Amino acid sequence: MPALKKIASTVISAALLSSLALTPAHAADKDKKDDKQPKPPSTMSSLGGEQLAKTGAQVNLGPGAPVLPKKLSGRSWVVADAESGDILAAHNAHWRLPPASTLKMLFADTVLPALQPTSLTHTVKESELAGVGEGSSLVGIKEDHTYTVHDLWLGVFLRSGNDAVHVLSEMYGGVPKTVAAMQKHAEELQALDTTVVSPDGYDAPGQVSSAYDLTLIARSGMQKKDFREYAATASADFPGEKKKGKKRENFEIQNTNRLITGDIGVDPYKGIAGVKNGYTTHAGSTFTGVAERGGRVLLVTVMNPSAEESHAVYKEAAHLLDWGFAASGKVTPVGQLVPPKSVDTGNVNGGKGAQPAAGADQGSGGPAKAAHAATAARGSGGVGIALAVVGGMLVVLAAGVFLVNRRWPVPGLSRRMPAEAGAAEPADPAEQDEPKASVGATEATQPSGPATSASTDPTGSTAPPEKS
């Protein structure tokens, strides 16, 4: 027995020494890994407030305010009040990073007002699909097939379809004209961190945006009725391939925004009302969302969180929204979402006078009202109603004026919000076990199926790629 005890003691001692010997090496490896991670620039824009130019998390907690969520890994994020424009907290808000498909918000905010009515039909030419990046997310558009503008926008918002973006760009006047218009609109919105190279957000040298800019862009887009309804739709029917001698059938497409539709490990977020998610290998995961709770509407943007956790971008966005709703009224804003250049806010540096935002609500109805109503009712699970509330808040309907730095009215909020606003259909179980994309792939591959569009989400989801 003494001999056995001696042997056991020797083994334990050796194991402890081995552990101690390995610990510094492991720590060194971690330090090396951390050293390789991109660092925010030492100097960033101060647009919206001096505190936004600082690196790291920025928050001014008041009495009773909750602390920020722990273990946030996003390289950049912003939480803002959609009505007042107050930025409640931010982290490297002006860090210029690849935006992936969240750039489609700028595409839609720029192009939607010009392509009306949405019942307009278009027959797709082969040349219109030629510029779609290899491995892009697709909704499944076929050449020589006819689609309505409404169909194409569903493809953009729900499936993040680069094929739909390119067809709409050609209808707008071509990709170069669309890119130029998007850049001009970004400058009008004062989204000055944004450089547009491709209309769909597909990785391109020099194409960048920031959490601050994406939040500005989303706030502008949400003032457009069509934009709001598309962004809130959970699922819809899309025209399939036309086969000779047979009636053309539809297939269902589902929104890639997992805070709307849910997925394994992610529940639909109560009160969610859009907006857009994205993913490319270069950009990582990106997301901008808007949600309503307790009479408040918040915007959140998260860029490039850890790739080690499944659905990190949605989880961190949800944590930040939860924090924002709990902290509203208990923090001093760290900055402001600035108004467009053309808007007169009554300040010395205001614009040339209050002007309606392009495509903003001008009153009841709208060119796409009938076209969107059935889709919203079918697929949004109450989200469409939540979004209509957001729309009523974001715009003074009688004047159609983009108002900033003041509380926007929310007509009939308590009467219009359903008890379970934000609930949505669960993800299709058949899609939940698709394999992850291989590391280093520029874009996710397209699985077979009628949409030819559902590419693998490397965050662990089977959502269509969120790939630009």
Q: Which residues are catalytic?
A: 101, 104, 160
Q: b/e for 162-191, b at 16 or more Cβ within 10 A?
A: bbbbbbbbbbbeebeebbebbbebbebbbb
Q: What are phi and psi of 231, to 5 degrees?
A: -65, -25
Q: How many CA atoms lie less than 13 Å away from 456 in the CB half-sphere? A: 17
Q: How many CA atoms lie less than 13 Å away from 34 in the CB half-sphere? A: 7
CB 221 within 8 A of CB 108: yes
Q: What is the per-residue DSSP string for 392-406?
A: HHHSBTTTTB---SS
> Would strands 57-61 and 284-293 be described as parallel, antiparallel, or unpaired?
unpaired
SS3 345: coil
- Provide the phi-psi class of 256: left if phi over 0, else alpha when psi is between -120 and 50, else beta: alpha
Burial class (CB in 10 A: 0-12, 13-18, 19+), 353: exposed
Q: What are phi and psi of 235, to 5 degrees?
A: -155, 160
